[in-house]
């Protein structure tokens, strides 16, 4: 899931800009938006069943009609929202607000002291042409969905590995991200080169940007169990070699 952060002061035109991006991104894949409401509290309709369920302590409450579903969850951190959006198959997530968050940003208007800005007052087309500037986020379920594709019968294997740099300084962790990401791409390509038609993804979760620990997620999808296992075993062997450890993976 590609995360595109749009920041700026109130009234700068962020919402209008995001509205222009939605149909363009929607042509390429499922697109979602998360907006920071700031000091405004979102009011649920009083007396409705979905509201009453939440008031009684449900961790989430959903209502479904003929056209849509409305879901309210108690979690309100970006990490929780990212995980939810990735798990339901979102390909592009637009984030409005949270201007101090360390995500790479599209800056709309003028925001003195803004950091992590990668594009300033661009056109929507310029954002589309620069998507590689924005980071990827996957939950384990989101990564599994990606390798499963449109085939519900595809065999999917997943795993998780700890990052050897998770407890380092911010600078050492950033250096690790830059150094290790190409290695992970090579591991995935090597697994996919084996016979059997496996689709393999190896994703480094960057805790400095998205919160939580730095971890490495692996997902392999293949038409047959043997092909999935062979590709996953290839990932596992090369991952342990790259990490310099013989410790078993989680998964």
Task: Give yes or no for residue 228 having a pLDDT over 60.
Answer: yes
Q: Looking at residue 33, what is its pLDDT?
A: 97
Q: Are residues 184 and 79 in the same domain?
A: no
For the question of whether the overall pTM of this predicted structure is more than 0.85, the answer is: yes
Q: Are residues 154 and 187 in the same domain?
A: yes
Q: How far apart are CA 176 and CA 208, in angstroms?
A: 11
Q: Are residues 123 and 42 in the same domain?
A: yes
Stretch 212-221: mean pLDDT, rounded? Answer: 94
* CB neighbour list of residue 55: distance below 8 Å, 6 or more residues apart: none
In a domain, 248, yes or no: no
Q: Looking at residue 245, what is its pLDDT?
A: 54
Q: Are residues 125 and 195 in the same domain?
A: no
Q: Are residues 114 and 66 in the same domain?
A: yes
Q: Domain range holding 228?
A: 149-243
Q: How far apart are CA 115 and CA 22, in angstroms?
A: 24
CATH of the domain at 157: 3.30.1370
Residue 216 pairs in a beta bridge with 161, 204
Domain count, the chain: 2
The more confident residue out of 249 and 49 is 49
Confidence of residue 250 (pLDDT cuts 50, 70, 90): very low
Task: Give yes or no for residue 246 having a pLDDT over 50.
Answer: no
In a domain, 47, yes or no: yes
Percent of the chain scoring above 70 in pLDDT? 96
pLDDT in tens, 79-102: 999 999 999 999 999 999 888 899
In a domain, 139, yes or no: no
Confidence of residue 163 (pLDDT cuts 50, 70, 90): confident
Please, what is the average pLDDT of the chain?
91
Q: How far apart are CA 106 and CA 163, in angstroms?
A: 29
Q: Provide DSSP, 15-37.
A: HHHHHHHHHHHHTTS-EEEEE--
Q: Are residues 97 and 216 in the same domain?
A: no
Q: Looking at residue 243, what is its pLDDT?
A: 87
């Amino acid at each position: 899931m590609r995360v595109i952060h749009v920041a700026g002061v109130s009234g700068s035109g962020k919402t209008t800009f995001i509205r222009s991006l939605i149909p363009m991104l929607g042509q390429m894949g499922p697109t979602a938006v998360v907006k920071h409401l700031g000091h405004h509290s979102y009011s649920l309709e009083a007396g409705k069943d979905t509201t009453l369920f939440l008031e009684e302590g449900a961790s989430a409450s959903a209502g479904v009609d003929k056209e849509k579903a409305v879901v309210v969850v108690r979690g309100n951190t970006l990490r929780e929202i990212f995980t939810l959006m990735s798990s339901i198959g979102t390909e592009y997530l637009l984030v409005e607000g949270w201007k101090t968050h360390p995500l790479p940003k599209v800056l709309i208007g003028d925001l003195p002291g803004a950091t992590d800005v990668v594009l300033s007052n661009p056109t929507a087309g310029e954002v589309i042409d620069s998507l590689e500037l924005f980071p990827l986020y996957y939950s384990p379920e989101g990564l599994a969905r990606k390798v499963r594709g449109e085939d519900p019968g595809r065999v999917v294997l997943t795993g998780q590995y700890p990052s050897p740099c998770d407890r380092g300084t911010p600078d050492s962790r950033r250096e690790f991200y830059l150094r290790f990401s190409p290695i992970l791409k090579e591991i995935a390509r090597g697994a996919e080169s084996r016979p059997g038609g496996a689709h393999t993804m190896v994703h480094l979760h960057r805790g400095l940007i998205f919160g939580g620990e730095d971890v490495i997620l692996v997902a392999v999808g293949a038409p047959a169990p043997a092909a999935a296992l062979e590709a996953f075993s290839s990932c596992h062997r090369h991952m342990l070699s790259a990490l310099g450890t013989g410790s078993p993976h989680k998964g």
